[in-house]
Structure 1
Amino acid sequence: MQLIDTPLNDVKRLLPDVYGDERGWFAETFSQRTFTQLGLPGQFVQDNQSLSLKGVLRGLHYQLGRPQGKLVRAFTGHIWDVAVDLRRDSTDFGKWAGFHLSEDTVEYLWIPEGFAHGFVVLSESANVLYKTTNFYFPEGERCIRWDDPTLAIEWPLDLVGKISLSGKDQRGTSFLHADLPPVPEAVSRR
């Protein structure tokens, strides 16, 4: 499995080894041992799946109290996936990066805890799968507006047409007024 750096610290692209012939292909998409060797979490506690139509935009979501790291893949279709660094002690705080994920490749995106996450569907529909490092925690659920002017995310709207949002995502807050994760306490070394 190849681990590829991205413009955001700690966000990684993962390309599993694919073995194919005239019959099709095979790939090991998750191995606790491999992930641990790569310095990634080896344990996930929840798998999520969504089916969305073209133009559906989900996000930008994150959780307080029980943050989730996410391992994301477009199982069918084509999405543009976005991660936003919310870690106030990070040199990338407030920066975002976007990634094309498609059924045409066996590619995952690793988004660690402390990031907001969202995606928009570019194909007629998309089936998105993701593993999380923590359980869903409704009380800690937060959403930043997808079109926040401070973040100025360059969504590929020319490939989408009309955007479709859930009521929750329509009520997302601005980045400047967002309830952000606390800065981790420094570990005392004696």
Structure 2
Amino acid sequence: MSYSYTPTSLPEVLLLEPQLRIEDGAILHECFNARDFVQATGFKNEFVQECLLKYRYGVVRSPHYQVHHQQGKLVRVGVGEVFHVVVDMRRYSPSFGRWVGMMLSASNQQQLWIPQGFAHGFAVLSGTAEIHIKSTDYLYPEHECRVRWDDPSIGIEWPAIGTPMLSPKDKAAPLLADASAFMENRQLARQRWGVQRQFCAPVQIAPRPWAPGVAGGTNHKSVE
């Protein structure tokens, strides 16, 4: 197995595509291979938990994350079609508050690597959907943080789904200005991000629409 990958407009976030092969008359889809994952991404995180989430059409999850017990996530869709969103929640990151979105589905078999420091949300576009998430730390509901799904300062361009189905917690999620963020020493952050980015092709990052001195800027979705 080997992964092909596409860098997104958030350089640390990668869109992965496992290669399929024909073996003994069957199509072999190896969903995960630790060795090839490290070669494709440069991340040597150990996954400790995998969750299967089942949703129906119109469900929207606000971007969510854990500041304590930070998680890297590998996301794929086993059934249906889901629009996934990633928001940079690292306070000292040059891309803080920017987002990237892409379609994951059972048909395209693509996977999304979301390292620590980012929030992950989604909208279900099919009648039903099953989302598989591997994580590098355990899920702690008491430490889960959220940011509002329709925060105008982030400006996520959600697909048209009518009235979104939101949980009470997602409805009460704070705006980016009031949300918890990942904090760390600036020099340490630059060193760590520099190490991560060496595994990605150069990508130009779109400016935040609310950044000082930027007029009319927009965030851009990645190549689907």
Match of 2:154 in 1: 151
Match of 2:32 in 1: 30
Match of 2:89 in 1: 86
User: Following the alignment from structure 2 to structure 1, what is the Cα–Cα distance between the partners of residues 147 and 6?
Assistant: 27
> Structure 2 matches for 1:41-190, cutoff 5 A?
41-157=44-160, 160-184=161-185, 186=187
User: Following the alignment from structure 2 to structure 1, what is the Cα–Cα distance between the partners of residues 71 and 25?
Assistant: 37
> Percentage identity across aligned positions?
39
Instruction: Kindly indicate whether the alpha-carbon contact (under 8 Å) linking 2:45 and 2:136 is maintained by their aligned counterparts in 1.
Output: no
Structure 2, unpaired ranges of 5+: 189-224
Change (3 A) 1:22 1:59: farther
> Secondary structure, in 3 states, of the residue corresponding to 1:92?
coil
Structure 1, unpaired ranges of 5+: none
1:81 partner letter: H
> Secondary structure, in 3 states, of the residue corresponding to 1:34?
helix
Matched, 1:19 2:21: yes
Match of 1:5 in 2: 7
Aligned pairs, number: 185
Superposed CA offset, 1:79-124 (max 9, x none)? 0000001112222111001100011022100011100110000011
1:29 partner letter: C
User: Following the alignment from structure 1 to structure 2, what is the Cα–Cα distance between the partners of residues 76 and 184?
Assistant: 41
Query: TM-score w.r.t. structure 2 length?
Result: 0.78
Question: How far 1:31 moved relative to its partner?
Answer: 1.4
Question: How far 1:11 moved relative to its partner?
Answer: 0.2
Query: TM-score w.r.t. structure 1 length?
Result: 0.91
Instruction: Kindly indicate whether the alpha-carbon contact (under 8 Å) linking 1:13 and 1:107 is maintained by their aligned counterparts in 2.
Output: yes
Pairwise CA RMSD of aligned residues? 1.7
> Secondary structure, in 3 states, of the residue corresponding to 1:37?
helix
1:62 partner letter: Y
Question: How far 1:37 moved relative to its partner?
Answer: 2.2
Question: How far 1:22 moved relative to its partner?
Answer: 10
Superposed CA offset, 1:42-86 (max 9, x none)? 410110111111000112101111111110111100000000011
> Secondary structure, in 3 states, of the residue corresponding to 1:88?
coil
User: Following the alignment from structure 1 to structure 2, what is the Cα–Cα distance between the partners of residues 42 and 107?
Assistant: 20
